[in-house]
Amino acid sequence: HTEDELSRGSHSNPGKSLVNGIKTNPASNSPKSSLPVPMGPPVYVDLAYIPNHCSGKNTDPEFFKRVRASYYVVSGNDAANGEPSRAVLDALLDGKAQWGENLQVTLIPTHDTEVTREWYQQTHEKQQELNIMVLASSSTVVMQDESFPACKIEF
């Protein structure tokens, strides 16, 4: 097929789309059943936001093996939905243990939750071994009629 034919084909059949050059049916693709991500070298970044408010629904140990950040932001604050997830926080420890290098990692929770406090206390020794620091701050930001805790980070 020519590029023109492929383009027309996808417009005439809106139920299909191209993913990595392969026709798929979006209705049948869930996040867990999508095409496997090929293995490759890890990606190093300064700052990474742990997806989906640190929920176990979309973040697994592979994330921390592949995305190696100096800072990870944990924004979950919904215990009823498992945010943040203890399993995801444990996955950070497991993933970091496999890096093979002792780079400093800072975890930045945006909310003070029971899950993060318990995880911090129960895994503190392991965090120290892996050179992971959890950033806590007593800073407060006041905007109009609202105030909330905040952390300042500098690069």
- In this prediction, residue 6 carries a pLDDT of 45
Query: For residue 16, is pLDDT > 50?
Result: no
Tokens of 75: 């924004």
Query: For residue 34, is pLDDT > 60?
Result: no
Query: For residue 33, is pLDDT > 50?
Result: no
Query: For residue 103, is pLDDT > 70?
Result: yes
Tokens of 151: 């952390």
Query: For residue 120, is pLDDT > 70?
Result: yes
Give percent above pLDDT 70 in the chain: 59
**Would you list the DSSP string of 4-67?**
HHHHHHHHH-TT-EEETTEEE-GGG--GGGSPPPPP---EEEEEEEPHHHH-TTT--HHHHHHE
pLDDT class of 86 with cuts at 50, 70, 90: confident
pTM above 0.85, yes or no: no
User: What CA–CA distance (Å, rounded) separates 60 from 108?
Assistant: 18
Amino acid letter for position 72:
Y
Query: For residue 109, is pLDDT > 90?
Result: no
Which range has highest mean pLDDT (53-67, 70-84, 99-113, 139-153)? Answer: 99-113
Nearest to 118 by CA among 79, 64, 154: 79
**Beta strand residue intervals within 50-120, DSSP E:** 67-74, 105-109
Mean pLDDT for the stretch of residues 130-143: 80
**Domain ranges, ordered by start, for the chain:** 43-149
User: What CA–CA distance (Å, rounded) separates 42 from 123?
Assistant: 25
